[in-house]
Amino acid sequence: MSQMTGTQSIRFDREIYINSYASVVGQKEGEGPLGAQFDQVEEDPLYGCNTWEEAESRFQTEAARRAAAKAGLSMEEIRLIYAGDLLAQCSASTFGISSLERPLYGLFGACSTMGEALSMASMAVAGGYADPVLALTSSHFGSAEKEFRFPLDYGSQRPLSASWTVTGSGACVVGTKKGKVRIAGLTTGKIVDYGLKDSQNMGACMAPAACDTISRNLADFGWQPGAYDRIVTGDLGFVGQQILFDLLEQEGWDIRGQHMDCGMMIFDPASQDTHAGGSGCGCSASVLAAELLPRLAAGEWKRLLFVPTGALMSKVSFYEGQSVPGIAHGVILEHVEG
């Protein structure tokens, strides 16, 4: 039986593992620093489909199939799926998962969704409710720009604080079958709203939530930042990272020695013109599968806090002058010896 820990955290007493992981990304991601590590780089942004949205669904389906196959599972053996994405009414997941014909709980946590999906999946497995469980998310540059910003044909200039939505999907199979990485605990995020309204500076909107979840995680487990080899946020980018450091310093924490950000890892800002970095549900999910989990599995890192961050906004909330609150969910990942 698991244990509630502190005020927002869970420690799993039962051993829960990540059995496999897969990533499928677009061409630009394939040209970035992690290009060789993705399972598949699809050069056609439409992935043979008619729309960005259908293409995003296909990225998700392919990541799901690859993750299941790498765990030696047929899709029928997946007991339960947790999935979500950035689009209105999570439609990339709807039309992606539909073809897999598995039981599904849909999630929305904006770019924090991979943290939420892994949290739900590990709870389901640890509780004996489902085993194995698939957790996955996706995003697509074309569908996200259409959903949140301007028609691509406008060629709108983007401020340096803006991020570039990752085209891709990451998927993990979570189960009790022993693997090389275990999910040891969780910290559930709260919505944190500093009243910021600039959707072209989402790093600043999300940094307070990342600070809240990281400091709560450290307090709940009674750890110093050094208990982690790495603390990896989702898509704060270069602007958000500095704000995170400043906010955490006010709380008495210095994570400069441990911090990485998926959004800062997936593109090369010098050559790829991606400004603050990558973003989107697919950013942290694909970097998790391509870079973080392999290094944990190899024992290069022993313990990592994965903290995807989400900016909770819609077109309507933006037009109505609402702020952009943030949320971040923490997942403790540990290398398993032997």
Binding site for its own copies (CB under 8 A): 1-4, 8, 10, 50-51, 53-54, 79-80, 84, 86-91, 94-95, 97-98, 101-110, 116, 119-120, 123-124, 126-131, 146-147, 188-191, 193, 312-317, 320, 322, 325, 327, 329
Q: From residue 334, give the alpha-carbon distance in Å to each of 17, 37, 135, 291, 323.
A: 9, 21, 18, 14, 36
Nearer to its own copies, 3 or 156 (CB): 3
Cα 326 to chain centroid distance, Å, stands at 14
Nearer to its own copies, 86 or 181 (CB): 86
Whole-number Cα distances in Å, 303 to 7, 183, 213, 218, 230: 21, 10, 17, 13, 7
Smallest gap, in angstroms, from Cβ of residue 167 to its own copies?
17
C-alpha of 96 from chain center = 18
Report the length, in residues, of the chain.
338
Query: What does the radius of gyration of the chain's CA atoms come to, in whole angstroms?
Result: 18
Provide the 10 A C-beta neighbour count for residue 71. Answer: 22
SS3 per-residue string spanning 44-96: CCCCCCCCHHHHHHHHHHHHHHHHHHHCCCCHHHCCEEEEEECCHHHHHHHHH
- Residue closer to its own copies (CB basis): 116 or 229: 116
Closest distance to its own copies from the beta carbon of 3 (Å): 7
Residue closer to its own copies, measured from CB, 34 or 118: 118
Q: Closest distance between its own copies and the C-beta of residue 327, in Å? A: 7
Task: Give least dist CB 196 to its own copies, A.
Answer: 13
Closer Cβ to its own copies, 320 or 337, answer by number: 320
> Cβ of residue 98: shortest distance to its own copies, in angstroms?
4
